[in-house]
Amino acid sequence: MHAKLQRRQALTDARRSLVLDAARAVFLEAGIEGASVREIARRAGYTPGAIYSYFESKEAIYAALLDESIQRLQSAVADAPVARDGPGQALAARAQAWFDFYAANPRELDLGFYLVQGMRPRGLTSELDHELNDHLYQALRPCEEALQEMGLDADAALRENTALFAHGVGLLLMQHTGRIRMFRQSADALFKAYVAQLVQRVDGGSRQPGLFGGTVQPDSTDT
């Protein structure tokens, strides 16, 4: 690339990043509905017109913010230390990576679950929402792969990975809101215990097929 083009790209990236930082603050303060491109522009030191040259709408800014957050999550999981002592340890390392990412960045979890305004996906087109869901799914894939390496079939690995994610997200929610204090427990310790049990259960299951096979089977679908 020409030096001039490179410089231009670097400037574009920097401006985009400034806009996203301003947007993050506005969304967390005002919610998705309460946020405006005008206010985001004001914080970033741009005119609304300048913002529209980078993003076509407020929703597009929100989606870009969330996508960037999921990319960081994906890197955290992908970069988790490779365990040489088996897929159980690989699973534990990768699961701990996403848990730690959200434990250290509670506002990313707010954004990722639309908690800036109640638990309702708002404003995103279903296409954008689908794309974000897919990226989050991909970010968590390494855990599912580890579960398959431990001997689970594809369906069981997906179910266990969903349950694992739900467990961690529930613990993080209780920690971030202080609700965990009413139980006098540690979210991190409970998460580690869940993962250890999962590893034990799946390893035991693969040695004794069918022992737990019937218990994770969904018996209905949500409406």
- 1 interacts with a copy of itself by CB under 8 A: no
Q: Does 174 bind a copy of itself (CB under 8 A)?
A: yes
b/e per residue 62-97 (b: at least 16 CB within 10 A): bbbbbebbbeebbebbeebeeeeeebbebbbbbbbb
Stretch that binds a copy of itself, among 15-23, 62-70, 83-91, 127-135 (CB under 8 A): 127-135
Count residues contacting a copy of itself (CB under 8 A)?
68
Binds a copy of itself (CB under 8 A): choice among 117, 145, 148, 149: 117
- Closest approach, Cβ 73 to a copy of itself, in A, equals 13
Binder of a copy of itself out of 115, 143, 146, 152 (CB under 8 A): 115
The separation between CA 6 and the C-alpha centre of its own chain, rounded to angstroms, equals 31
For residue 21, the tally of other CB atoms under 10 A from its CB is: 14
Stretch that binds a copy of itself, among 4-12, 57-65, 79-87, 103-111 (CB under 8 A): 103-111
Instruction: Tell me if 25 contacts a copy of itself by CB under 8 A.
Output: no
Contact 146, 163 (CB under 8 A): no
> Does residue 167 bind a copy of itself (CB under 8 A)?
yes
Amino acid at 72: R
| Residue whose token pair is 């954004």 | 111
